[in-house]
Structure 1
Amino acid sequence: MNIAVMTMYGNYYNGDKLFDRTACNIGQNLLLPGIRLKEYIETNGDKYHTYDVYKDNNIDKLICFDIPSNSYFFNNSIQSWVRYLLMGKWLNDGFSKLEKTISVENRILIVQEPPVVSPKSYNMDYHKYFGKILTWNPDLVDNKKYFDFKYPQPVPEKLYSVPFTDKKMFTQISGNKKGVGDNELYSERKKVIDFFEQNDDDFEFYGFGWEKENLKTYKGRTDDKLETLSQYKFSFTFENCSGLKGYVTEKIFDCFFAGTVPIYWGAEDIDNYIPEECYIDYRKFKSIEEVVDFCQKLTEEEYEKYRVAAKNYLNSDYFKENFSVEAYVERMCRAILD
């Protein structure tokens, strides 16, 4: 069986770059689960490649990680933009084109990104083009058309454990981006930076796109996210948006792997997935000043309780059965091969 993969990132991952661990520059090991899935599928005699590798021929199943870019469907960029801007029908036409080779029941949509990043993935009109949809939103899961999906979290070989007394205080790792929507958190990350720019509290942050901002707390990009996080006691860890059920990404897990305590804001039901003793819930504080004061007053013993809880969680059956790479491969194979 020939299985093809599309993403929302257009041609960036063409030529099987999606299975190259070095091709993603926004996080460590983010592509590893997909690589392991490819290895497992191909061990059983099937083929698993990015869509372009097949050159539109002999595709048995199509996997879309979020609604794909229109560049997959139309090679002529002018044609693509005219359809998008004037008629708004490029996606409908694109999937109609696929009807000739891949039936609806053999298409699977994986809804990964939140609405502020991939709003098209939440347009229910587009869901009719797929036989199965995997989503992290528990309210949609019916185990008929909609199935459970969780962001897989590859556990590194080494978990960091920098001593409390050797750590600096606060950090944040975030790109200079702007979001659209009432519950986007890009602007809240910027508020954290603005607060520390005006105060003398111990804070340093990293990420791309800030080079021209002339911010005293900015320390550049980081080539090793976990190593950087490990040098700080606390990290402001905000998802791309708030108020969504089940939207739990690598951001909080990276803190656990690095041995830093996350100050978390994101999934409204985060305590359904991660015990509250593992993180500091930003929503429980009225202001940045309050959370900073709370963290500064924690004793080493109180601080270590968060880290121990996080380690215990990573070793738990719940984590392994829900967020491990092995659980991801099993979940995806059920969707693809059943």
Structure 2
Amino acid sequence: MQRQPLTGLIVCPGIPAAALFDLGTSPDGLTQPWVALKRAFQAHGVDLVGSEQLKGTPHFELHFNVQFPRSLSPKFVLLLENPLIYPANGFRFLQHQYRTIFAWNSELGIDGKTVPIRLPHPLEVAPLEGYGERPQLVVLINSNKALAWWAPDRDLYRERLKAIRWFERYAPQDFALYGRDWDKSPAQPVVGGLIRFLERWWPQPSTAFPSWRGTIAAKRDILLRSRFSIVYENAIFRGYITEKIFDAFCAGNVPVYWGAPDVTDYIPKDCFIDRREFSSYEDLYWFLKTMPEETYLGYQQAIHRFLASPQAQQFSIPHFVQTIVTEIMTHLSR
């Protein structure tokens, strides 16, 4: 007698399952981990679905960040965002509903329940062509957002703004800004929602950020034509290494990185330029502007070696998927 398939409910508010499990949704490959996760569960006889596809009670729930439960079934959570972006992830009392907490920093989860993960990315290797067809010196690709809470000692949204304003004033010919909502005023923590509401009635001039070149369908297209990119995480947390630095790596672009204090525990130092080592943006700019192509090619070669190394595999999609599927299937079999 054939065993009935199990059903897992993936809870990701705001993103329909049809989009999450579609490789065509993101030209930059952001849905690849979730498509791979669905296929891996299917290989174990589990159908991973969204709420719009669910029929009956699921055998388990998998939450993107801390959510309210949808059933009495066993629950698991992926702490994908830091608690300054998604505050519920920082409340331990909300985590007691979960069998397992998958987190990039074990200090975020309850002891004994937390399994470490790295946020995954397709590990593509770009050609080693030096400056090649890279006429743009520096780019920054992000949306105009802010933290949910006031945390100046961890806030890197504010540092992005400082970078943008410095380049706009002192090196506008060498800098380009891409992303959403830069035709609005700078986003602010805590009161940002109110300011955005008011701007519906009193719009800001479209020249709020003169370096802004508009929104883009895929980061890779821009990164392939640029030498360096400003890659700041949203906030400073140990282990918080997101897709941003890998977007640059996989396009052969050399990132100027600021984020996880322990980044060199995971990524070799010669793969990126550490913003913390420069006392000013002027010093950073001249370092980038006058870099010999041979030095630049050395960064690209280091990136190439890293992406092809066993060390990089902890950021790979197969490793991420295997960690989650193995843990959940082990619980379900008990």
TM over 0.5, shorter chain: yes
Query: 1:286 and 1:4 mapped to 2: Cα distance?
Result: 49
Structure 1 window deviating more from structure 2 (172-181 vs 233-242): it is 172-181
Query: 1:177 and 1:325 mapped to 2: Cα distance?
Result: 27
SS, match of residue 97 in structure 2: coil
Q: In the TM superposition, what are the counterparts of 1:91-240 in structure 2 within 5 Å?
A: 94-95=68-69, 98=71, 101-102=72-73, 106-139=74-107, 144-156=112-124, 159-161=126-128, 163-164=130-131, 166-167=133-134, 168-179=136-147, 180-182=149-151, 183-201=154-172, 202-211=174-183, 212-214=205-207, 215-240=209-234
Give the fraction of aligned pairs with identical amino acids, expressed as a percent: 28
The answer to whether the 8 Å contact 1:252/1:262 transfers is yes
Distance apart, 1:252 and its partner CA: 0.3
Distance apart, 1:230 and its partner CA: 1.4
Residue type matched to 1:209 in 2? D
Q: Deviations over 1:183-236 (max 9, x none)?
A: 121121111111111113511111111235413321111222112011111100
Structure 1 window deviating more from structure 2 (168-177 vs 199-208): it is 199-208
Unaligned runs of 5+ in 1: 69-93
Q: In the TM superposition, what are the counterparts of 1:64-75 in structure 2 within 5 Å?
A: 64-68=63-67
Larger relative CO (CA 8 A, sep 6+): 1 or 2? 2
Structure 1 window deviating more from structure 2 (121-130 vs 174-183): it is 174-183
Query: 1:226 and 1:204 mapped to 2: Cα distance?
Result: 15
Residue type matched to 2:323 in 1? R
Change (3 A) 1:160 1:225: farther
1:72 counterpart residue number? none
The answer to whether the 8 Å contact 1:161/1:258 transfers is no
Change (3 A) 1:124 1:141: closer
Distance apart, 1:144 and its partner CA: 3.2
Query: 2:17 and 2:108 mapped to 1: Cα distance?
Result: 33
Change (3 A) 1:54 1:196: same
1:326 counterpart residue number? 318
Residue type matched to 1:159 in 2? A
The answer to whether the 8 Å contact 2:128/2:297 transfers is no
Distance apart, 1:163 and its partner CA: 4.2
Higher helix share: 1
The answer to whether the 8 Å contact 1:18/1:50 transfers is no
Distance apart, 1:15 and its partner CA: 4.6
SS, match of residue 264 in structure 2: helix
Q: Deviations over 1:111-147 (max 9, x none)?
A: 0111221110110110111111010004457883111
Unaligned runs of 5+ in 2: 1-5, 184-204
Change (3 A) 1:267 1:213: farther
Change (3 A) 1:15 1:328: closer
SS, match of residue 164 in structure 1: coil
1:6 counterpart residue number? 11
Q: Deviations over 1:64-122 (max 9, x none)?
A: 11023xxxxxxxxxxxxxxxxxxxxxxxxx54x73xx31xxx21111011122111011
Query: 1:165 and 1:19 mapped to 2: Cα distance?
Result: 35
Aligned pair count?
A: 298
The answer to whether the 8 Å contact 1:138/1:245 transfers is no
Q: Deviations over 1:143-197 (max 9, x none)?
A: 83111111111134x6255541542211110111122332121121111111111
Q: Deviations over 1:247-293 (max 9, x none)?
A: 11110011111111100001010000100000001111112112112
SS, match of residue 159 in structure 2: helix
Residue type matched to 1:50 in 2? G
Change (3 A) 1:185 1:36: same
The answer to whether the 8 Å contact 1:151/1:323 transfers is yes
The answer to whether the 8 Å contact 1:66/1:109 transfers is yes
Distance apart, 1:22 and its partner CA: 3.6
Query: 2:129 and 2:181 mapped to 1: Cα distance?
Result: 28
Distance apart, 1:14 and its partner CA: 2.9
Distance apart, 1:295 and its partner CA: 1.6
Change (3 A) 1:197 1:231: same
Residue type matched to 1:264 in 2? Y
Change (3 A) 1:162 1:206: farther
Structure 1 window deviating more from structure 2 (127-136 vs 44-53): it is 44-53
Q: In the TM superposition, what are the counterparts of 1:5-84 in structure 2 within 5 Å?
A: 5-7=10-12, 10=13, 12-24=14-26, 28-55=28-55, 57-68=56-67
The answer to whether the 8 Å contact 2:92/2:109 transfers is no
Residue type matched to 1:64 in 2? H
Q: What's the C-alpha RMSD, in Å, of the aligned pairs? A: 2.0
Query: 1:23 and 1:230 mapped to 2: Cα distance?
Result: 21
Change (3 A) 1:172 1:160: farther
